[in-house]
Chains A and B, each alone.
Chain A
Amino acid sequence: MKLRRIVVTGLGIVSPLGANVETVWKNILDGKSGAKKVEEFDVSDLACQIACRIPLGDSAEGNFNPDDWMDVKEQRKVDPFIVYAMAAAGQALQDSGFEAKTDEQKERAGVLIGSGIGGVGGIYDASVTLAEKGPRRISPFFIPGRLINLASGYVSIRHGLKGPNHSVVTACSTGAHAIGDAARLIALDDADVMVAGGAESPVNRLSLAGFAACRALSTGFNDDPTRASRPYDKARDGFVMGEGAGTVILEEYEHAKARGAKIYGEVVGYGLSGDAHHITAPAEDGNGGYRSMQAAIKRAGLDVSDIDYVNAHGTSTPLGDEIELGAVTRLLGEHAKNLTMSSTKSAVGHLLGAAGAVEAIFSILAMRDNIAPPTINLDNPSVETEIDLVPNKAKAKEINVALSNSFGFGGTNASLVFKKLD
């Protein structure tokens, strides 16, 4: 069966550096950080007291106003990841100019939005209610407002999208898997248009305690939050949690062309692999990431020397950053010296299930503007490398092909390759 071509025709984002694509992108290129001390709840007994938070406020100033995207009445019923997904999906559809009007258009357009941990905040609250007040006080919206696939469900209902209604849960690879799997649904002719991405609302006491117990979070920068996320730097000590959502509109090439859509680029490669090693730690040889990149580049029909930019998984954990860097170096061989690779998690933090989606967006924008976003706080690299890790300042460079990596707990890896349209 011949695979159909897939292009990206719309982008939408809610993130700690702003709630629309151009605001976030400008802040990233300017080297800003979205990290701050958590003030909305008590963090005094937590090892990690910081997170990258979405700036709430006037949307005209690039801040997030949830009321723009969902009725107040509906917002009360769901965890914030669903509200973020609604906002990112709404933006992306607006950006694409696509609207499902006829029955056929509706049935050929679908949604595939995932989340890593979904409504964990709401599950915590309901558990307290159950313990203190009993089962009769559990809301009928408790289940539908926490389920991960309800991000897709709400978007589907709002926009009348009656094609595939699907979701992904693969920890920190979720967003990348969602985009890759949605692209395949279009390639295999199950849909012409897909709203794809990830959403996460993890900033609460329970998640901070849990990820800290895994020894995954930064704990040494509670008084200097903007310097905490520092991939590849000697002083890095864990990731900084971020919240938000990213979605892209994926569209079959001829479908996009026929309606005169703006085309950001093509999804040419998608690779998946498993480490089969450990529940949280990456395998030291980086073989899982190596194989997901290799598979994505092979699917793209490209050579490793064609890769101009890699948006790294690069979470700022002591182990993971160097393992990924090693895998990329081995894969590229003699071409490593020409590669530019950065971690935008240095700026927006780690959005967990949304990370792969927002980083796909940053990869696409890097291609659009021919500029590599910086790895901020990279002052003293922990290893020597020929690869340009773009320390602290964005770098102009012709970028025709960009690869984005995402690796998750459970040893699950995904790589996406985007290419400018020929």
Chain B
Amino acid sequence: MSDIADRVRKIVVEHLNVDADKVTEKASFIDDLGADSLDQVELVMAFEEEFSVEIPDDAAESIQTFGDAVSFLEKAVK
């Protein structure tokens, strides 16, 4: 697992108050990790803050799973 994945997982665990082992690549924030639409907005904001990037709204909508977030950020942070 990359450094980025570890940082993303830490944010997800803190914000959604879930166990780290539940945050798998395919885990959907809403369907599997108990987030609602507002939690998802807040998660994206936390990613922006942690990685000093701006995630446009249309890109944010495509980030539905932990894996989506990691792959988006791995590209964005280069």
Binding site for B on A (CB under 8 A): 71-73, 136-137, 139-141, 144
Contact = CB atoms under 8 A, between A and B. Distances in A.
A141 B38 contact: yes
Contacts of B49: 137
Nearest to A145: B38
A239 to B, nearest CB: 37
Contacts of A139: 42, 45
Nearest to A73: B17
Interface residues of B, number: 10
A144 B36 CA distance: 14
Contacts of B38: 140-141, 144
Nearest to A133: B49
Interface in B7-63: 15-17, 38, 41-42, 45, 48-49, 54
A79 B49 CA distance: 22
Interface of B is mostly: helix
B39 to A, nearest CB: 8
Given A136-B54, A140-B38, A141-B38, A73 B45 contact: no
Nearest to A72: B17
Nearest to A139: B42
Contacts of B42: 139-141
Nearest to B55: A136
Shortest 9 CB-CB distances between A and B: which pairs? A73-B17, A140-B38, A140-B41, A140-B42, A139-B42, A72-B17, A141-B38, A71-B17, A141-B42
A71 B38 CA distance: 16
Contacts of B41: 140
A126 B41 CA distance: 16
Contacts of A140: 38, 41-42, 45
Contact of B48 (A71, A73, A136): A136
Contacts of B17: 71-73
A71 B36 CA distance: 15
A391 to B, nearest CB: 49
A137 B15 contact: no
8 contacts: A72-B17, A73-B17, A136-B54, A137-B45, A137-B49, A139-B45, A140-B38, A141-B42
Nearest to A144: B38
A71 B17 CA distance: 9
Contacts of A137: 45, 49
A126 to B, nearest CB: 13
Interface in B53-77: 54
B54 A73 contact: no
A137 B16 CA distance: 18
Contacts of B54: 136
Contacts of A144: 38
A140 B36 CA distance: 11
A140 B42 CA distance: 6
A136 B56 CA distance: 11
Given A71-B17, A140-B42, 17 more contacts: A72-B17, A73-B15, A73-B16, A73-B17, A136-B45, A136-B48, A136-B54, A137-B45, A137-B49, A139-B42, A139-B45, A140-B38, A140-B41, A140-B45, A141-B38, A141-B42, A144-B38
A72 B15 CA distance: 10
A72 B42 CA distance: 16
A140 B35 CA distance: 13
A137 B38 CA distance: 14
A136 B45 CA distance: 7
A119 to B, nearest CB: 16
A78 to B, nearest CB: 12
A140 B15 CA distance: 13
Contacts of A72: 17
A302 to B, nearest CB: 49
A376 to B, nearest CB: 42
A380 B38 CA distance: 56
Nearest to B38: A140
A58 B50 CA distance: 35
Contacts of A141: 38, 42
Nearest to B18: A73
